[in-house]
Structure 1
Amino acid sequence: MPLSDHEQRLLEQMERALYAEDPKFASALRGSDLRRMHRRRVLKAAVGVFVGIALLLTGVITKVIALGVLGSILMILSALLAVHSWRQIPGPDGATPAAPGRAPSGPRGRGPRGSRPIMQRIEDRWNRRREGNGF
């Protein structure tokens, strides 16, 4: 749901105030891109998988059991990190994809967390607060 003109102006005012108050912090926030970070983590984990395979094969060829075990552990942990990071990559709309087959529970067991977008939930809370109904 797009922001209204009033909300957009308020957001722009807050951004300007943040830049005026602490430009270093504001530039640090703007520089973080979750998609890029998770993709980089997936690539590093893939390199770890290949290094683990190389260590495993080297351990098998040279008959050094510790090297083979170390390669196996590195390969498995890197593969788990790659899969986890791959699932965390946000989509083009900025939302992270939900894990298949699982519906995480929201706070206090009110049903699936992903049933409504977060902005819709925040807006509903804001409207309830303005109307005096509280949370």
Structure 2
Amino acid sequence: MPLSEHEQRLLEEMERSLYQNDADFVAKVGGKRARPAYRSIVLGVLIAVVGVAVLIVGVFFQLPIVGILGFVVMFAGVLLAIAPGKRVAVDPDAPAAKGAGGSSRTQPGFMDRMNDRWDKRQDGQG
């Protein structure tokens, strides 16, 4: 069942509004992510295990300062393990450069693919 003209206009207006109001969100979501830093994860887990061991030793010998130190080491290890990897910077001028020179070989983002699908669908109906 095709959309009525009124519904199509509303949909187009909502789409324009989304692009105008949420450009920052679209840029953040469209950014590329790097692979997880496996070295940091392994190192963080090892540090956390050492921290747990120091914490247990502090509790066993009833030494609060050793227990607190163990907790701090454990917490630092967990933070290191869950820290996100470095993201690849997204150049806001990349689409313009790709269109002009054609030398940029980046894959289109999610929103670009959705826009292309939308344009193809509109061309097929009109």
TM-score range, shorter chain: 0.3 to 0.5
Normalised by the length of structure 1, the TM-score is 0.41
Asked which structure has the greater CA Rg, the reply is 2
Normalised by the length of structure 2, the TM-score is 0.44
